Structures are given as C-alpha cells and as structure tokens.
Amino acid sequence: MPPVHDILTFMKLKDIIACVDGQLICGESHLEDEIARGFASDLMSDVLTILEDDILLITGLSNNQAIRTAEMSDIKNILLVRNKKPSQNMIDMAQELNISLSYTSYSLFKASALLFQKGLKPVY
C-alpha cells in the first residue's frame, strides 16, 4: 500500500466553492472539474514556478495579472479570497480564456485550511 500522503483525493470545483462558502462568478462549465492540488499565493512570480497543471489557484490578487498568470501556467480555476471581487475586465478575460473565477469572503489561510482538511493536496 502506498503511503497515505501519496493518495490523491480529487475535489470537484462545485464542492470546493461550497467548502469555502464561496460563489462562482464565471466558468460554469468548470463546476464538475476534478482538482487534486491547490496553490495559495498572492505572488504571481511564485505561481509561475509551479510545474503542475490543473491546480486550483487560491489568491487575494484580484487583477488581470492573476488571469494572465493562470493562462500561462495552464491553470483553469481561480478562487479569490478576502472578498476580492473581480472587475468586469477580469471576468471578460477569464471567460475568453475559459478560466473559472470564484470568490470567498474567507482569508487565504482559512480557505486553504478548509480545503486542505477536505483533502485538497498542496503542490509541495
């Protein structure tokens, strides 16, 4: 049997949003996406060093750069924390690039902790 930390639990985006009492802003087609890992950072420079694809980006950085960074890193789902609602420009960009945007009023720490508790794994 592999060690416990090697077992990946996938969470559907809709369950991720429910877990943090969040709301989907755009990207309904992603609600059934199965996500294994999350990365929480406000620093896009750090996000760009992640090699894994299809992770959940949890961030308080609510600007176009968050969307651009997700695009370059093949990240399809972004969860904004600290009640940071995106601008219309950000939403338009996310829709064009087929990236889902959700938000929660929880802090980066709380949202990450709740998701970790539910089985979402860190990248490292």
Partner 1 sequence: MHQEYTVPAQDFSVAGVASSNFKRLLKQLNLPPKVIKRIIVAVFEAEVNVIAHSYGGRIVCELGEDTITVEVIDTGPGIPNLDLAMKEGWSTATEEILELGYGAGMGLPNIKKNCDRLSIRTKAGEHTHITMGFDLKEEP
**Using CA atoms, how far apart are residues 4 and 116, in angstroms rounded to an integer?**
14
Q: Which is nearer to partner 1, 4 or 51 (CB)?
A: 51
Do 98 and 76 form a contact (C-beta atoms < 8 A)? yes
Nearest approach in angstroms of CB 118 to partner 1 is 26
Phi first, then psi, for residue 17 (nearest 5°) are -65, -40
Q: Which is nearer to partner 1, 45 or 117 (CB)?
A: 45
Do 100 and 13 form a contact (C-beta atoms < 8 A)? yes
Question: According to the binding rule CB under 8 A, does residue 105 interact with partner 1?
Answer: no
Which residue ranges make up the site for partner 1 (CB under 8 A)? 42-46, 48-49, 51, 53, 59, 61, 63-66, 68-69, 71-74
